[in-house]
Structure 1
Amino acid sequence: MHTTETLEKIQLLQSFPENRENAYTVGFSHDGQRFAAAGGLRAAFIYDLHKAKPIGGLLDHSQSIYSVKFSKNGKWFFSTGRDGKVMVYDAEKFDKIAVLLPEFDLESAPPQIIPNFTLALNPDQTLLAVGASGGVMRLYRTDDWSLHKVLPLHQGNIRSIAFSPNGELCATGSSDRMVKILDGNTFEELQTIEGHGDVVFSVRFSPDGKTFATGGKDARLRIWSVDGKKFTPKVKLLAHTFAIKSMQFLPNAHELVTVSQDKTIKLWDLEKMLATQIIDKTCGGHAFTINSVDLSPDQPHMITGSDDKTVKLWKIS
């Protein structure tokens, strides 16, 4: 029956309690064999998919970590957060490669700390994008970690950045309720998209680049069709009862996972615009706000991080 099939799509494999504080961010390595989780404890934990406990921890931040990311080329691992630092590590041995610090206005007294909320790499891995407080996006060159551009884009904090699969577009979501679409090469602003009533926590392009999704504090999921640089609205849906904190497309490009402050994980069929699976605490899900979700590159696994201080590993069939 249909109900049995949906129950089998995403299954819990293991819970990891090591954070001891809220887990704000999770991310898989390029080969899907490792993943990282971090949050309020100020430590980034590294896990091996086949081991029951973390294989190591990184303790270079002085405040909460809001974003972790492995590069798709397998070379680097990044973390950033409230202290404004971006840590760059070797993704195999986790040796420190660089520490990227935002410039400060030396005339301001005292100088303002600039929290960073999100990280993204363009598809050819030549630029690291950092979304920060004050609506600023910074771009760093990955060949020498020099600052490439500083772009004042929003009136509020940038909470999410995504590149289209071909690298031609870059999208940002902000606490000013706006989504900006930029040229992925020149970073010239192409379009401002309105449509959320509050903070935009997550922006994502589908793996085939033909669909664009946004989710935010207003609990709404918005879907656009993408043709070249043209965005056509398709659906606006009240998808959760509280904020959508993060989301990821499945490789098939027509399924999307959303996680929410309402403590649920939802799997969406975007062709039918129906939630085909809803996971809450009674199904092995989280007890509090779910902040982050990521899928392994080859899809069989998913990780989620929550304010219940756990990270959960799931199998996708």
Structure 2
Amino acid sequence: MSHVRPSLWLDQTWAGKGRHIMEGHAIKNNLVLQMVMNEEVSHLTRLKSEPCEKTRASLYAGKKRPISTFKLLSGRESNRSGIGRFSSADCSYALRKHLPVKGPWCVDDMDSEAYISQFSADGSLLIGGFRGSHIRIYNAEKKWTIHKDITCKKLRWTVSDIALSPDQRYLAYSSLSPIVHMVDVQNSMRESHANITQIHEGLEFSNDDDGFSFAIFSVKFSKDGRELVVGNNNESICIYDIGANKVTERIHAHSADVNAVTFADESSNVLYSGSDDSLCKVWDRRCNKRGKQVGVLTGHLDGITFIDSRGDGHYFISNCKDQTIKLWDIRKMSSTVKDCTPKAYEWDYRWMTYPSEARYFKHPYDQSLSTFRGHSHRPEATGKIVEKLRWHGSIIRDCSWHPYFPTLVSSSWDGYLVRWEATEHDKDPSMLKIGKQRMHPDGYTFSFVF
């Protein structure tokens, strides 16, 4: 103490106190910000929410009567609520009036199982993948006409995943093999037969150390289109540099098949993965410890089949064989895996119904923000189901929202790609009728829910 000038010591003392005060304010502000963001996501996923109080008070003060979309838009344009925009609650209230529950209408009817249905980022194209070595690209802006008819090369069983490059020029497709094929989908050739009418360039993901030929389950482009990331049954994630024409990173990611992988945001530095080991993991490519996850998210009780990022580097959702969808915030992840009781049942979705005794199992260390139930072919939801769409006669393998319009497309093992709309199109001859679907051998009519 004697070596420090009193005034300097006082300055340091008050600076220290000030720093602690500032840190306290920062922590408080972060907690408030996180609560606000969680509330935003909550409203966006709660379709039965009411408009915000300011909006309702500005239109129907003290009354609980329904508010039309026209009234909401008029109130927003005249800024009657005083906030100058729709709140997230207003958005959810308006959205629920325009759910795509009409139909379905046929997009395509093939003689093999439909595995994949995905819209392009701008909604102009729809891509369907079928087990019979076929991928079709439909022009959603020209009455769903076929833009490209692709006959694939060297498929093992089926098209396992597809990805469209950000510029919508190249399509990458994977199968149960270590090769991803690339196709130029914007040339003038409508029929694309692999290496006959058009070259399907093969990108090799295996190496001599693998010891066997693995299967790829998930493929995604980076936001700049320069890289591809895949998840496979070698329990690993591989990243391919398209310009350098080689795999640049291999990460032994999980203790079981990696069924889903995606980039978190536009930077392409952070990855999310999901596996049959029931875990979601977060990977940061900037970290010095390559091959070591930066976080783990526990809560699912079975294999994870799909992951979709919100694109903000914080939130994503996962679909799981335990019949749930979960919403996650990576700011709540753990650094290590938390043990949980192994599942006491075995089942295979391809020919078995989900065990009834397993429907209400809960993970003791569930870190998810929200859990959504009811999307099985025998729904017994524990939460409120907004709508249920029934028509398909077999397993619904994929569904995709149009990015801007109230249109939903589903693909099923009955061979159908169908679209659901928010408005009636009774005069459209492609509308499908009940009783015309190909039924599952057990006689179930399959559905999915909102």
Q: Bin the TM-score by the shorter chain.
A: 0.7 to 0.9
Q: Does 1:170 align with 2:271?
A: yes
Render the CA deviation track for 1:130-169: whole Å, top value 9, x for unaligned: 1111211111113243211121111211111122224342
- Distance across 1 between alignment mates of 2:422 and 2:308: 20
Q: Does 1:197 align with 2:301?
A: yes
Matched AA of 1:139: I
Paired position in structure 1 for 2:173 = 79
8 Å CA contact 1:301–1:316 kept in 2: the answer is yes
**How large is the RMSD of aligned CA atoms in angstroms?**
3.3
Distance 1:52 1:137, change over 3 A: same
Aligned to 1:214: 318
Q: 1:275 to 1:60 in 2, by over 3 A?
A: same
Q: Which runs of 5+ in 2 are unaligned?
A: 1-65, 68-92, 193-197, 336-365, 424-450
Paired residues of 1:223 and 1:233 also in contact (CA < 8 A)? no
TM-score (norm 1): 0.77
Counterpart position of 2:146: 54
Match of 1:155 in 2: 255
More helix by proportion, 1 or 2? 2
Aligned to 1:252: none
SS at match of 1:189: coil
Point out which structure has higher relative CO (alpha carbons under 8 A, 6+ apart). Answer: 1
Superposition pairs of residues 1-317 of structure 1, within 5 angstroms? 6=96, 8-10=98-100, 11-12=102-103, 14-49=105-140, 50-55=142-147, 56-63=149-156, 64-93=158-187, 95-96=198-199, 98-105=201-208, 108=211, 112-167=212-267, 168-185=269-286, 188-227=292-331, 233-237=367-371, 239-240=373-374, 260-262=375-377, 274-281=384-391, 286-315=392-421
Asked if the contact 1:7/1:277 (under 8 Å) is kept, the reply is: no
Contact 1:305 1:312 in 2 (8 A): yes
The residue matched to 1:138 in structure 2 has which SS? strand
Q: CA deviation at 1:74?
A: 2.1
Q: Percent identity?
A: 15
The secondary structure found in structure 2 opposite 1:202 is: strand
CA distance in 2, matches of 1:228, 1:176: 20
Secondary structure in structure 2 of the residue aligned to 1:65 = coil
Higher strand share: 1
Report deviation, 1:29: 2.8
1:23-53 CA deviation, whole Å, 9 max, x = no partner? 1122223432222111321211222222455
Q: Is the 8 A contact 2:260 2:273 kept in 1?
A: yes
Aligned residues of 2:153 and 2:200 also touching (Cα < 8 A): no
Matched with 1:245 is none
Q: Deviations over 1:148-196 (max 9, x none)?
A: 1121111211111122224342100011111111115456510122221
Aligned letter for 1:121?
Answer: F
Query: How much has 1:58 moved relative to structure 2?
Result: 2.5
SS state at 2:394 partner: coil
Residues 12, 163 of structure 1: alpha-carbon distance in 2 compared, 3 angstrom cutoff: farther
Instruction: Output the CA distance in 1 between the equivalents of 2:323 and 2:159.
Output: 24
* Cα displacement (A) at 1:225: 2.8
Shift of 1:239: 0.7
Could you tell me whether the CA contact under 8 Å between 1:25 and 1:37 is conserved in 2?
yes
